[in-house]
Homo-oligomer: A and B are copies of this chain.
């Protein structure tokens, strides 16, 4: 059985110029097309709406609506993925961008599976499980993951700390010991603030877990445990939206793993928190 996209590909050479443009656009942006109208697609492919309809018939599908359904089915069966925003262009509407964001984020999360090492993950979970304090630190885009992690581990009953403020962190770290864990979050692994705090924490004896991309970066080299995120494409102007998704995926994994381990013991506290929340109608 040939998929719809294969069919389009094969038909490409036999289509007229305008119809071929449609085919090419569809192949290049298949994720977005099922949500498009004929008018939108006609603009994108620089053809008329009439030609869209003709295109559908050319590839053997009776109507544009059926075409979209067939394409959706095709996509569900075999997932392709766009991985960067390089294809953004001037006339993209917010809705177009939305679909690109979905794709990029999805594929970023998917590729987490490739970069994370299972042994390192096990080490990280063990370290965090027995930790007395957990300190998270990330700057810029990576602060999101730090804030998120801090919240989650507090919920689990840990003494969990983060701050966006370097100086605040400077006053936290002297109190760390071998019993504590410092989680450094930096996509590049080169961020100076993160590195300095990492080294400081390490001098105090804390176990350092790095959430960073697999590379020869100083952070990677110096950390005790490496939770690697994939090297997702990053637009030099936009910055990386997707790397934050990968960091959060790692955080989620740590959270769930710890929950799973100590879960039964914190359930009472969870119910307490929830009950009180209900009582206060918050």
Interface positions of A (Cβ within 8 A of B) = 34-35, 65-66, 68-69, 72-73, 76-77, 85, 88, 92-95, 97-102, 105-106, 109-110, 112-113, 116, 118, 121-122, 125, 139-141, 143-144, 147-148, 151, 155, 191-193, 237-239, 241, 244-245, 248-249, 252-257, 259-260, 263, 267, 270, 280-282
A14: shortest Cβ distance to chain B, in Å?
Answer: 20
Question: Does the CB pair B148–A144 fall under 8 Å?
Answer: yes
In-complex Cβ contact of A256 among B66, B85, B253 (8 A): B85
Shortest beta-carbon distance from A229 to chain B in Å: 12
Which of B85, B102, B121, B254 contacts A249, CB < 8 Å?
B102
CB distance from A246 to the nearest CB of B (A): 10
A110 near B102: Cβ-Cβ < 8 Å: yes
Q: Could you list 22 examples of A-B contacts with CB < 8 Å?
A: A69-B69, A72-B72, A72-B76, A73-B73, A76-B76, A76-B77, A88-B260, A93-B118, A93-B122, A94-B118, A94-B257, A95-B118, A97-B253, A98-B113, A101-B249, A101-B252, A105-B109, A139-B282, A144-B144, A155-B239, A193-B282, A238-B259
Q: A87 CA to B101 CA in the complex, in Å?
A: 28
Nearest-neighbor residue (CB-CB) of A63 within chain B: B35
Query: How far does the Cβ of A226 sit from chain B's closest Cβ, in whole Å?
Result: 14
Contacts of A140 in B (CB 8 A): 151
Chain B positions within 8 Å of A68 at CB level: 69
Q: How many copies does the complex hold?
A: 2
Nearest-neighbour CB distance to chain B for A130, whole angstroms, equals 14
Q: Would A98 and B77 count as touching, CB distance under 8 A?
A: no
Q: Whole-angstrom distance between the alpha carbons of A264 and B25 in the complex?
A: 26
Residues of B within 8 A of A122 (CB): 93-95
What residues on B are CB-neighbors of A106 within 8 Å?
106, 109-110
Q: Which residues of B contact A65 (CB under 8 A)?
A: 35
* Cβ-defined partner of A35 (8 Å) among B66, B88, B100, B193: B66
B94 touches A253 (CB 8 A): yes
Q: Is the CB of B121 within 8 A of A98?
A: yes
Contact of A148 among B98, B193, B244, B249 (CB under 8 A): B244
Which of B93, B105, B256, B267 is close to A97, meaning CB atoms less than 8 Å apart?
B256
Name the distance in Å between A83's Cβ and chain B's nearest Cβ: 13
Whether B256 lies near A101 (C-beta < 8 A) is yes
Contacts known (A76-B77, A110-B106, A148-B144); A257 close to B97, Cβ less than 8 A: yes
